[in-house]
Amino acid sequence: MELKQNFDLTNYNTFGVQSKAELCSIISSIEDIQNVIEQNKEIKKEIYPLGSGSNILLTQDVDKWVLINQLKGIIVLKENEKEVSLEVMSGEDWHEFVLHTLDQGYYGLENLSLIPGLVGTSPIQNIGAYGVEVKDFIDSVEFIYLESGKVEELDNRYIHFGYRDSIFKNELKGKIFITKVRLTLYKEPKVNVKYRALIDELEKRSIKDPSPKDISDAVIFVRQSKLPDPSKIGNSGSFFKNPIVDFSVLKTLKERFENVPNYPAEEGKVKLAAGWLIEKGGWKGFRDGNVGVHVKQALVLVNYGNGKGVEILQLSNKIISDIETKFGVSLEREVNII
């Protein structure tokens, strides 16, 4: 394991903004993590695990010891006629893992196709799309405490999963490195087709009884048609969470806009579409120099080239303030700001 100094992170964040890490190591084994923890007893730097950089915004150089996750491996723990339990190393690419499960005849994750990031980051924000959340398939998560080197495994019920939320974004934030995720998937298809965009795409394809592969293909097509490719234009996908508000807020909005998109949430609350609010606020397609809001998807902030992280952060601040003023709704960022 080589220790790199002033390491360029431009190619390790999907916004493509320039930033350097004071210290950096490529992690390919759990022993590598343990070695870093031991060495850090003398160096005494904050250790920062980095996945694919798809959910971060770098606004400055990183005065930390950055660990780039390349832990690989997928094994079957147990299986029967109906289910299969898998142990997946945290450095596996999420989308490639979803495609692998479909090839093996393991189902449940098809609606989560093409979500950027690594398997290890999936439980952190409880990734979800088209009516499916990863929390419904995760059995447990294994991790290492970055200070003590202690290895621990948390069962699903103790991870405190919520909407784009978990214990890893709260009590354990900045304290651990996720090493393995254990999931149980179906061996019998149980397709989930609830969202309009997905229904419309399947209808266009004249598919009335979709297979999990059909669902995955449709999800990939819809996401690619709406979201820019990070390799061509810097972005982190959805920049804001869909806000969960009281029914009274929805009622007030409906007095002005009859067809406000909304979805069921926890009791007494409803989920609004952040992209719809931003578009109604007039921000869709907005550009300020090298940064802006994507022309096809208002939920996505983009770096058109040479944009700085702080410029994207400032743009997000303006959007949050404007949406609060115009609609009385507070938007929350989905990305991590560094």
**Active-site amino acid positions:** 164, 238, 334
242 vs 34, 176, 305, 332, CA distance in Å?
38, 27, 27, 8
Query: What DSSP character marks residue 285?
Result: T
Rounded to the nearest 10 degrees, the angle between the axes of helix 212-226 and helix 196-204 is 110
40 vs 32, 69, 200, 319, 330, CA distance in Å?
12, 17, 53, 40, 40
Contact by Cβ (8 Å): 294, 228: yes
- How many residues are present in the chain? 338
Contact by Cβ (8 Å): 10, 53: no
Contact by Cβ (8 Å): 264, 271: yes
Residue 176, phi-psi category: left (phi > 0), alpha (psi -120 to 50), beta (remainder): beta
CA distance 202 to 219: 10
CA distance 234 to 225: 16
CA distance 186 to 193: 16
| Best CA proximity match to 89, nearest among 126, 35, 143, 12 | 143
